Amino acid sequence: MKIKSVIYTLVGRACAICVGISLLFFTVAQIAAYIRMEGELGISFSQYLLFLLFSLVLSGASYFFRMPLPRAVNLLCHYACCLLSFFITFIAAGKLVTLTPSVVLVFVAIFTVLYALFFGIFLLVRKLLGSSSKSSKIDRKSKAEEEYQSRFQ
């Protein structure tokens, strides 16, 4: 049963990430088409499958945070896994055959900025929402303990 729930969680997160990435890239493609005065641009099915693969790896990389290691090591492993997935996916999508060090550096820089931006927003939202939900959980737990009266005395 536990494996089934892990698979459902993994696939569910991957689908949500894939939809977000697809919408983002479709929006960027439409803006680029509008600027160049071209017709509509879209995402091909093979590119969508690459986005789905990338999303599946991103979803799986989130399990690094559950490992009993220091948070910095977990974050570094998650970053490395996501960077490798990003790099391989966009090499395949862009059909980049000749990789110069400057192209690799640009890929790493773009990914690092996006990763830091997303992770910073995620931590900020988690901190803002987490502080109120933790205090309400503690309040509910203490109220439940206060209301309990033993019936076996």
Domain extents for the chain? 1-96, 98-146
Q: Report yes or no: 52 and 89 within 8 Å, Cβ to Cβ.
A: no
Local confidence pLDDT in tens for the 153 residues of the chain = 588 888 888 888 888 888 888 888 788 777 877 787 766 666 678 777 888 888 888 888 888 778 888 888 888 888 898 888 887 777 766 665 567 788 778 878 888 898 889 888 888 888 888 765 555 555 555 655 666 666 776
Q: Residue 86 has what pLDDT?
A: 80
Using CA atoms, how far residue 114 sits from 6, 62, 71, 94, 96, in Å, is 27, 16, 20, 19, 21
Q: What is the DSSP string of 103-147?
A: HHHHHHHHHHHHHHHHHHHHHHHHHHHHHHHHHHHHHHHHHHHHH
Please state the pTM of the whole predicted model.
0.64
For residue range 121-143, what is the model confidence (pLDDT) as tens digits?
888 888 888 765 555 555 555 65
For residue range 22-31, what is the model confidence (pLDDT) as tens digits?
888 788 777 8
Name residue, tokens 């076996």: 152
Share of the chain above pLDDT 70, in %: 76
